[in-house]
Amino acid sequence: MGKGPCLPDIERLIKMGINPKTGLPIKLGNPRCKTKEGFKKAIRIIDEQDAVNRYKWYNLPMNLTSQEVERMLYYRGQLAFFYFKDLEEFYFMPYALEGGVGGGLDFYGRYRQIHPIPWNSGGSDGKQSKQQEALLSTIKLNVKYGIILPEDLEEDDLYNSAVLLRDYTKQLSEEILPRVNVNEEIIDVEAECMPYMRTALLTGTGVRGVRVADSDQEASVYEGSRNMTISALEGNPYIPITGKIEFQELTDGNPTKAEDYLIAMQALDNLRLSTYGIDNGGLFEKKAHMLEAEAEINGGPVGLVLQDGLSIRQSFCNIVNSIWGLGIWCEPSETISQADMNGDGVVYDRDETEQTGTDTSESEVSENE
Radius of gyration of the CA atoms of the chain, in A:
29
pLDDT digit string, tens, across residues 185-219: 999 999 988 887 877 777 676 666 667 766 666 66
Instruction: Please state, in angstroms and rounded to a whole number, the distance separating the CA atoms of residues 334 and 97.
Output: 36
- Is the distance from CB of 112 to CB of 82 less than 8 angstroms? no
**CATH for the 55-180+304-368 domain, from 3.30.565.10, 2.40.500.10, 3.20.20.70, 2.60.120.200:** 2.40.500.10
Predicted local confidence at residue 87, as pLDDT: 87
pLDDT at 119 (0 to 100): 85
Answer yes or no: are the C-beta atoms of 320 and 326 closer than 8 Å. Answer: yes
- CA-based nearest residue to 276, from 207, 349, 335, 224: 335
pLDDT at 243: 46
Mean pLDDT by 10 residues, the chain (369 residues): 63 72 60 72 95 93 92 96 92 89 84 90 63 83 95 93 96 93 93 82 68 66 53 44 46 65 90 88 55 47 84 96 95 78 64 46 47
- Note the pLDDT of residue 63: 86
pLDDT value at residue 3: 58
- Using DSSP, state whether 208 is helix, strand or coil: strand
Cα–Cα distance between 8 and 215 in angstroms, integer? 15
Cα(68)–Cα(353) distance, integer angstroms: 14
pLDDT for res 208:
67
**Residue 17 has what pLDDT?**
72
DSSP-assigned beta bridge partners for residue 58 = 329
- How many CB atoms within 10 Å of residue 57? 20
Measured CA to CA, the distance from residue 261 to residue 256 in angstroms comes to 8
Cα-Cα-Cα-Cα dihedral sign, residues 83, 87, 92, 95: negative
| Plot region of 262 (φ>0 → left; ψ -120 to 50 → alpha; else → beta) | alpha
How far apart CA 343 and CA 142 sit, in angstroms, is 39
Q: What is the pLDDT of residues 144-170, one digit of tens each?
A: 999 999 999 999 999 999 999 999 999
pLDDT of residue 299: 46
